[in-house]
Amino acid sequence: MFHIVEKYRTPAQIILGVICLSFVFAGGYTLAVPGTDYISKVGDIKIKVNDVNDFQRRIQNASGNPVSKKLVYDSLVDQAYVQQGANDMNITVPIDQIKQVIASDPSFQENGKFVEAKYRAFLQQAGMSEDALIDGMRKQYAMQSMLNLMKAGNVVSDAQAKQMVNLLQAAREVQTLTFPAANFTHQVVVDDNKLKAYYEANKKKYYLPQAVKYEYVQLSAMELGAKESVSEAEIQEAYNQIPTTASAPKPALENVRTQLTQEIQARKGAAVVAKLKENVSDLAFNNPKTLQPIKDKLGLTIHKIDQVWLTRDMANNSGMPKALQDALFGNDVLVKRYNSEPIDIGNGNYWVVRAIDVRKEHQASFTEIKAQVQQDYVAAESKKLALAAAKQALNNVSTNVNASLSWSQTADLTPQQAVAMMSKTDFQSWIKAKPVSGKPAYILLSDQQNPVLVKVNAIKQPQDMANVLPQAKQVISQNLAQNLATSNLAWLKSRYKLKQGAQKLDTADEQ
């Protein structure tokens, strides 16, 4: 929230940062109608359109990356709340301290001594008076002091740090027992009433998108080239064109004969494709409802993709070339049911496609989708039975009921590994599981495809705890400080009302 402010924390950065920040808190008088000279105001602090534009430009110039006006504006509003809070607490910085900061800045020194000329050149280049710089530094230091107060008061103990390390870094020694839903399929009773009820409860799942079944002919440089003969003279000519150097002598002809033959056939195939493409295009256009003339006159095979419906999402996910997708789901093929033009799908291949059948998007009826409904219903009910069995097993081991369970071999599982394979809910249960007095902890992972019962035998602390602990304390301290600052900012926002002015923040060019 305060990252833009906090980038100006060192003395030298504060001096330069004042250029960016002081205008946000500038005072002065105006003859304008009240409210027309700002977007919004916190107490006495105004945020103006020019402030946002200037700050945005300076940040972008410094970072080299685009920054939205909205983000800049929100940051300036937060800063205004902090500045107003500092004003109300009368947080000030003595002028002698400010002068000392300026004098000690390396940018204004030579051989460790302050050089007045460098300082004046800086002011001239920045377009600032000395009074404006000092006033800006006062406000900047006051705001930084206010931020420090807003974050102060968090002390992290070793016990807190160890608890975080154990939660987020320590591996668990675990054993697991999976309850495959497939093992319970035979227990599921199916009838039409149950299937219809399941269908009605999950009707949105069976809304079918637009889809197509199609056929195509292919012009392939590789396939057509493979049918072309290659003479010994052609091979010899290609061999003679292989460049040679003293360090790389020409290989023996027999060692490269196959490669040369394939290269010659590829060139011939590309030439055949170029010659046939116009014929294919004419045949496709003159016989728009069938590919049979292309097969009859040119001997190309008609390939049919008619076993399953193909949707646009399925085509995209399968990696189908975009040009082919656009043709297949375009108006000519999908609606008019015409042949497409030859489509370049890469690697010297051209397709002409035609829709065999088209499915409009619609809500599938129960009869139409019954087989899929039954499959889904059986899967859902099987998992319920598997989950019930897993819960019973968990209850038995948790209450010390003697149960013969086939646990897996022990293995170590880190939090990083666990979070990658578990849902958020399952991970939270896993991270909280803690063996007590030498007795394992048990949890049930219910969001998996198959329910999994987990026995946590031990939590293994990192071996380098002495090095990890200080880092953990620092992370916790930073998080506490940020949370405290956020809470204090919320309090400031409740105390000072954000007053809207007549100026408007223009973000139209960033949409």
Sequential pLDDT tens for the chain (511 residues): 444 334 434 444 444 444 444 333 333 334 445 567 888 898 888 889 888 888 888 788 877 888 888 888 888 888 888 888 888 888 777 888 888 888 888 888 988 888 989 888 888 887 778 888 888 887 787 777 777 776 665 665 666 666 666 656 678 899 999 999 999 999 999 999 999 999 999 999 999 999 999 999 999 988 888 888 999 999 999 888 888 776 778 888 998 999 999 999 989 999 999 989 999 999 999 999 999 999 999 999 999 999 999 999 999 999 999 999 999 999 999 999 999 999 999 888 999 999 999 999 999 999 999 999 999 999 999 999 999 999 999 999 888 776 688 999 999 998 888 888 899 999 889 888 889 888 999 999 999 889 999 999 998 877 666 666 676 666 666 666 677 777 777 888 888 889 898 888 877 656 5
One-letter amino acid at 50 equals N
d(CA 404, CA 402) in angstroms, rounded, equals: 7
Q: Are 343 and 351 contacting, i.e. CB atoms less than 8 angstroms apart?
A: yes
Contacts of 212 (CB under 8 A, 6+ apart): 309, 310, 328, 329, 333, 334, 355, 356, 357, 358, 359
DSSP string, 95-134: HHHHHHHHHH-GGGEETTEE-HHHHHHHHHHHT--HHHHH
| pTM for the full predicted model | 0.52
Q: Are 210 and 335 contacting, i.e. CB atoms less than 8 angstroms apart?
A: no
d(CA 419, CA 427) in angstroms, rounded, equals: 6
Structure tokens at 120: 């004046």
Q: Are 171 and 414 contacting, i.e. CB atoms less than 8 angstroms apart?
A: yes
d(CA 176, CA 263) in angstroms, rounded, equals: 56
Q: Are 452 and 175 contacting, i.e. CB atoms less than 8 angstroms apart?
A: no
Residue 182 has a pLDDT of 95
d(CA 212, CA 326) in angstroms, rounded, equals: 13
Residue 62 has a pLDDT of 75
Tokens 């001096």 correspond to 15
Residue 456 has a pLDDT of 93
d(CA 153, CA 161) in angstroms, rounded, equals: 17
Q: How far is CA 305 from the centre of its chain?
A: 34
Q: How far is CA 378 from the centre of its chain?
A: 35
Residue 2 has a pLDDT of 42
- Give the start-end residues of each E strand in 360-463: 362-363, 411-413, 441-445, 452-460
Structure tokens at 108: 């204004």
Residue 369 has a pLDDT of 94
User: Quick one: 413 exposed, middle or buried, by C-beta within 10 A (0-12, 13-18, 19+)?
Assistant: middle
CB atoms within 10 A of CB 140: 26
Contacts of 348 (CB under 8 A, 6+ apart): 220, 221, 222, 266, 269, 270, 273
Residue 476 has a pLDDT of 61
d(CA 440, CA 456) in angstroms, rounded, equals: 5
Q: Are strands 171-178 and 302-311 parallel, antiparallel or unpaired?
A: unpaired
Residue 35 has a pLDDT of 61
Q: Are 505 and 40 contacting, i.e. CB atoms less than 8 angstroms apart?
A: no
Q: Are 162 and 451 contacting, i.e. CB atoms less than 8 angstroms apart?
A: no
Q: Which helix (H) or strand (E) is 500 found in, with range?
A: strand 498-500
Average pLDDT across the chain, whole number? 84
